[in-house]
Structure 1
Amino acid sequence: MPCSIVVFNGTHHNDETVKIFSKHYSNYNTYWEKGTNNFGGVLVAVHRSIPVQKVDIFQHLPNVIVLDIGTAADKFQLATCYSPPNENLPISLFDKILKRNINTVLLGDFNAKHISWSSTIDNHKGRALFNWLATNSLEVVNKFVPTSTRSNGTIDLILAPTHMIAPTSSFCVLPSIGSDHFPVVWTPTAKLHKRDCLYPIKRTYWTLFKLFLVFTFSFWNDMSSKTDDIMHFFSTYERFLALLASRLTYVSYCSAYKPSLPPHIIKLIQQKKMILRLARKTKHPLYITQLKAYSTIIRKEIFAHKRLSWLNYCSTLNAADVKQFWKKARKHFSVTNPPINGFLSNGAVISSPNEMCNLAKSFSFVVLV
């Protein structure tokens, strides 16, 4: 399961194990602090695409790491703490961390049990943490799911502000991977701005795809007529189509993209695809009628969007600057096209540059001459 941020508590690690970890996870920035006993120590690994900075005033504290995550627009504070069973919770330190930035996610193995989040009896650390939470705007994310393999206690906690815990956020507890604690995975709804996020742009050469189908038609036709196992033929042909499409698809990456259509049209297209699937599956007249209606609406919306885009573009043209006009107009036509000498509008030939500019701005139906 890929995670952008990984937190380990009670690692009892040393410098050599940290070097080994950093070597295997070279695409993560790794931060660690030693603990106060043989079972202590904390480690945080943050993917290199996420801006991160260690908070100076909380450096070199045993069992504690405090980081600033994200950029100015979406920055929050991430703090992890391992609290050994025989030590008190560092409540005063928690206050300082929260005072520095209220947008703080505090997580770790606190060894704190309370009936508010754990299906076990309370302990003194749980009561202390409960009282502290009552005076601050933090809530327990992972309630009533055991995180210890030796009991039903929920002692590994994720604490976050109420405004950072959306109803659509989720968490899960994974099976043990050898430790006496279960891994806890939290998926918040907040999205971080990544520095090197690349978007895949796929391009399939459908003309070549069609040629392959035409040239191999006789082969597949003979195979289908001679085979006794229709399902085997179907699966083989399906695999051929998938491999052919994959072979003729090339992927390029860009750091940013701008949809060619506005969001409301994209949403309409997505709704149309959903209705199309229902219409194909059920053949219900209602879905077929809705599909036709959506097609008409989308066609009109796209036409209106293109018209508005053209008008906005034409507003940048200067009728008095003939050179600039033809420089921009040249971008819309291939070099193999004949030169534009004029427009034919309402039966009249318009050849004056100023009149042609005015006619182009009106976005009327004109004929090039």
Structure 2
Amino acid sequence: MTANYSSYRTDRLTAGGATAVNVRNGICHHVIQLPPLATLEATGVVVHASADAITFVAASRPPSRPLDPADIDALLSLRGQVFVTGDFNSKHVSWNSRITNAAGRCLLRVAERHHALGVGPYDPTIFPAGGLPDIIAVVKGVPHQITATTRTALSSDNVPVVFDIDLDALQQPRRDISLAGIDWDRFQAAVTDSLAAATPPVEAGADAALLHFAATTNDAANIATPPRPRTPPDYSRQLPPDILAAITEKSRLYREWQRTRNDDTKRLLNRMRRDIRAAIDDRRHRDWTNKVATLCLDDSSARRTTKRFLRRTQRIPPLMVHGQAVCEPAAKADALADVFEAAFTPIEDPTDAVHDDLVAERLPHYF
């Protein structure tokens, strides 16, 4: 389990493997039930982005099972944008594999029928490399540029693959309101121009005037706030070059030990693991010590750091309405309103003449 992430996994009924999807807690998402699959093992999660929802599926096909095209067809038939990735053991030159096998040709035919795209890295994803990429992604309806790169961050013979979705290619930079970076002169000019250009009529009342003023100030703040880049930080590359080089060498030693089972290689591998863990812990402690030394009560940096530790992001599950998952707050409110409206029984005449006569008869006895 990764800290600050929600993990969803599907274990194999027999020993030997599983699929999982990890999603950061601050991202609106929910797990879905995938259609029955004959040869694939898969886990699906729907992530609700700012523009649309994307279904991410982690899939795997054991080499002993032949690829059933109906499985790929069922996954790519999911509604909306679909991103299916995993080890399909399907090789084809279309996703940078050196060879092509029957499973790769089958996967390509189904993907083309759904107008989907196969994306794979240029480097091998398993050592020793047989057909180059084994971990690929089959993408349908995602209107962004996607690139695949390999990393040497783990000691497994399977190399991690990172798929980067370029959101900046088709979307404008995000403009979150930030009082620290706002241009106040531009904000004042925007408010003045908007109020002078259009004002609600007097007969509309005070509520309309307040709503117009609030919308005007909010739009001006968005205009005066500088854009923020959408590219997420790559924390894996913040390690110094010597530690990254040691991790690469440790991965090479592990693959060598898997092939040779040499005791000297195993001892050297264990020593490197301990040294790398100690170096990373020492760097983490040193960075934290330096950060604490720079905290100050005057500029609110201490308060922000404390708030970041105390804040716990809670994931609110979606509502299921008529078999459909509703995640947005406005859509949830509308769904609840529809339920209450359907359950409410209107009463034409709320008065009860018998009860009123009884109250009128008994009430004088108490005075």
Q: TM-score, with normalisation over the residues of structure 2?
A: 0.46
Query: Which one scores higher on RCO, CA 8 angstroms, separation ≥ 6?
Result: 2
Name which one, 1 or 2, has greater alpha-carbon Rg: 1
